[in-house]
Amino acid sequence: MLRSLMALLGSGALLGCTEQGDAPLVGTLEWDRVAVTAELAEPVLNWAVAEGDRVEASAVILELDARRQDARIAEARGQLAAAEARFAEATHGARIETIDAARANLVRARAAQTDAETEYRRVAELLERKLVAQSVVDTALAVRNQRRAEVDAAEAQLRELTAGTRPEQIEQAAAAVEAARAALKALELTRERLTVRAPRAGRVDALPFRAGDQPPVGAELVSMLVGDTPYARVFIPAPRRAAIDVGTRFEVHVEGVDAPFMATVRSIRSEPSFTPYYALTGDDASRLVYRAELVLDGGADLPAGLPVTAAPVAAGAVQGGAP
């Protein structure tokens, strides 16, 4: 590749394709790339496309095994149903039957208290006549106090049921429902992405995995070349940087293509870097360079990676270009 680039560089110099006799810029032909990564580590079931195919946006590219995710979604739906039931229970309050049962418990507790009060008074009178031991009175007193406590508990339970659910509890139940819905939505979104679709229209460049492979989370499932035309990635030496700006027109020669292409600078990196190995020509070997991208006016069918040379076009010059 280095030999080819150097040959192109020499031919460009001989032709005098630059405005001021400077050596042409060298680089490679590139496309904008879009990668789709794996969100779950699931096996690849099948592919719907092959490398090199052109696809439209949202076209199916591949299918990942969704059985495990379907089980997670079923579990999340069950949790949502339980949360909604708890919220409904909190907003509706206690059932009439539950309140009636609490009232009956209170009546029973009061009756037991009345019996315990009567028994305590009876044994207390017997103690005064010295007919029973003190321990009998103590036992009756304990039973009476226990029955009083049971009445207090039954009354409190009835008040709780008739007062309804506290607003804070209703808010907590509502928040639990929203959290369960959000969790289900996230799982369903991940499930949809197990059917990998093209994020943009373009050409499938690389499919690293095959059917049966299990890509790890974050692995690149597909790499696509997108955009209407390719661009030339070239490197501008520091002494020539001030003369080139965004919008500058260039004539680009692509290896293997006879006719040149017209191109426009769309971006220039502000941070310099050292000259790449394939741009080491004469004094440039020790200079800093700025990476630039030149969008071609044509070349929609050209592959990425081809060596290119680029020379700025003289102001007012009329240049031809490949279709």
Q: How much is the pLDDT for 276?
A: 64
Q: How much is the pLDDT for 322?
A: 54
Is the model's pLDDT at 287 over the cut of 80? Answer: no
- What is the average per-residue pLDDT within 278-294? 70
pLDDT tier at 282, thresholds 50, 70, 90 = low
3-class DSSP assignment, residue 281: coil
Q: Is the dihedral of CA 199, 205, 210, 213 positive or negative?
A: negative
Q: How much is the pLDDT for 284?
A: 52
Higher pLDDT pick, 238 / 246: 246
- What is the average per-residue pLDDT within 214-228? 93
Average of per-residue pLDDT values in the chain? 85
pLDDT tier at 7, thresholds 50, 70, 90 = very low
What are phi and psi for residue 307, nearest 5 degrees?
-65, 145
- What is the average per-residue pLDDT within 27-49? 93
Determine if the pTM surpasses 0.75: no
Q: Are 152 and 45 contacting, i.e. CB atoms less than 8 angstroms apart?
A: no
Please enumerate, as own/partner, the contacts of 241-249 that have beta carbons within 8 Å and a separation of 24 or more. 241/268, 241/290, 243/312, 244/268, 244/292, 244/312, 248/312, 249/312, 249/313, 249/319
- State in Å, rounded, how far the first CA of the chain is from the last one: 25
Residue 166 makes CB contacts below 8 A (sequence gap 6+) with none
Give the CATH fold of the 2-64+202-312 domain.
Answer: Elongation Factor Tu (Ef-tu); domain 3 (2.40.30)
Q: How much is the pLDDT for 123?
A: 87
Q: How many CA atoms lie within 13 A of 161 on its CB side?
A: 18
pLDDT in tens, 39-68: 999 999 999 999 989 999 999 999 999 999
Is the model's pLDDT at 301 over the cut of 90? Answer: no
Q: How much is the pLDDT for 180?
A: 97
Helix axes 96-128, 134-163, angle to 10 degrees: 160
Distance CA(207)–CA(224), nearest Å, equals 9
How is residue 220 written in tokens?
Answer: 């690149």
Q: How much is the pLDDT for 201?
A: 93
3-class DSSP assignment, residue 266: strand
How is residue 101 written in tokens?
Answer: 């049962």
Q: In the chain, where are the structural domains located?
A: 2-64+202-312, 71-186
Q: How much is the pLDDT for 283?
A: 58
Distance CA(141)–CA(311), nearest Å, equals 110
pLDDT in tens, 90-106: 887 777 888 788 889 98
Number of H helices, E strands in the chain: 5, 12
Distance CA(319)–CA(296), nearest Å, equals 13
Q: How much is the pLDDT for 129?
A: 85
The Cα-based distances of 253 to 125, 226, 256, 258, 310 in angstroms read 122, 22, 9, 8, 6
